[in-house]
Structure 1
Amino acid sequence: MKKILRIILIGFEFFVALTAIGGGIAILTGKDKFPLEWLEGSLFSTYTIPALLLLIIVGGSALGAAISLLANHIYSQFISLLSGLFLLGYIVIEVIILKQIPPGPTPIEIFYLVLGILITGLALLYRKKT
């Protein structure tokens, strides 16, 4: 059971790492453009800081979790748990601060919210199996 949990977590973590790092880069380079009006009333006037947070915090932690799980590092469960919590936090804050049209959560936000819940739950379960 522990081996299966580890494989699932590695897959989820690499998926989040790939999409978060790619998404962050796409926003920073202008490949993905979102209306600045969506940021009205938030702390941000551009998408630069949210993109960097997505790339570094969400993507970086997911990549670190995947690599640590592959290496069977002693703290891999904790890193994976943090990664899931970072993803959850990012999505929740995104839904709260963005003035999207139509209002969020969007299907993609729901997908990543569920993925964050799964990663967090599986990391906790994996930790108990250790």
Structure 2
Amino acid sequence: MKTVLFVLVSFLAVTALLSGIMLISNPDGKIMNLSVSLLEGTPFKDFTIPGVLLAVLVGGTNLLAVFFNLKRQAGRYNWALAGGIFITGWIIGQLILIGASHWLQAFYLVIGILVILIAYQLKGKWAV
């Protein structure tokens, strides 16, 4: 389970950081085949702030989870748990603000839930 968790948080870190950087550098979203019209009815006029939030909260937290897992430090599962909570919250926020618009939302929601469950298990909070 440790390896599965490491692979999942590594995947989340890389994809969230790259996606966040792409959104920051191209706030119109075209580089990711997104339209600013997706943001109608949200507090955002373009993808800059969502890109920063994605890179920092989701990408940064999962990158710290990767780092602390490599170092085998005591709080490594807490960082993974936080990373799972952030990606799950990110996707739920997307679903609330813009609705379901792509299959990747379900994909990342499942990954987030898996990270939460595996990290919680590895913390020793429940036995399976």
The reply to whether TM is greater than 0.5 is: yes
Looking at structure 2, the residues matched to 116 and 9 of structure 1 have their Cα atoms a distance apart, in angstroms, of: 11
TM-score, L = length of structure 1? 0.87
- Counterpart of 1:128 in 2: which secondary structure? coil
What residue is the counterpart of 2:51 in the other structure? 51
TM-score, L = length of structure 2? 0.89
Q: Which amino acid aligns with 1:79?
A: W
Encode CA deviations 1:27-61: one digit per residue, 9 max, x unaligned. Answer: 12223252121111111111111111111110001
Higher relative contact order (CA 8 A, sep 6+): 1
- Counterpart of 2:32 in 1: which secondary structure? coil
How many residues align? The count is: 121
Is the contact made by 2:23 and 2:50 (CA closer than 8 Å) also made in structure 1? Answer: no
Q: Which amino acid aligns with 1:36?
A: V
Is the contact made by 1:24 and 1:55 (CA closer than 8 Å) also made in structure 2? Answer: yes
Answer yes or no: is 1:118 the counterpart of 2:96: no
What residue is the counterpart of 1:87 in the other structure? 87
Structure 1: 4+ residue segments shifted above 6 A? none
What residue is the counterpart of 2:96 in the other structure? 96
What residue is the counterpart of 2:103 in the other structure? 107
% of aligned pairs identical? 31
Looking at structure 2, the residues matched to 125 and 12 of structure 1 have their Cα atoms a distance apart, in angstroms, of: 15
- Where do 5+ consecutive residues of structure 2 fail to align? none
What residue is the counterpart of 2:7 in the other structure? 11
Looking at structure 1, the residues matched to 101 and 48 of structure 2 have their Cα atoms a distance apart, in angstroms, of: 21
Q: Shift of residue 111 of structure 1?
A: 0.2
Tell me the C-alpha RMSD between the 2 structures: 1.4
